């Protein structure tokens, strides 16, 4: 009977892992994009 709780907790943990990893990637991407846009602005202003 308690087996189902074990499976449940494992699933929650897996989802937690996936979710926070995706959030991390999301933030990383945002940062990289900002950096690229910034350097593009700089290089276009230089001309």
**12 near another protein (CB under 8 A):** yes
Site for another protein in 16-35 (CB under 8 A): 19, 22-23, 25-26, 29-30, 32-33
In whole angstroms, the minimum distance from the beta carbon of 45 to another protein comes to 16
CA distance 29 to 17: 18
Per DSSP, the residues of 1-47 read -THHHHHHHHHHHHHHHHHHHHHHHHHHHHHHHHHHHHHHHHHHHH-
Residues that bind another protein in the complex, under the rule CB under 8 A = 4-5, 7-8, 11-12, 15, 19, 22-23, 25-26, 29-30, 32-33, 36
């Amino acid at each position: 009977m308690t087996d189902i709780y074990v499976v449940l907790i494992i699933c929650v943990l897996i989802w937690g892992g996936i979710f926070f990893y995706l959030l991390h990637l999301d933030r990383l991407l945002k940062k990289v994009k900002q950096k690229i846009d910034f350097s593009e602005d700089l290089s276009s202003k230089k001309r």
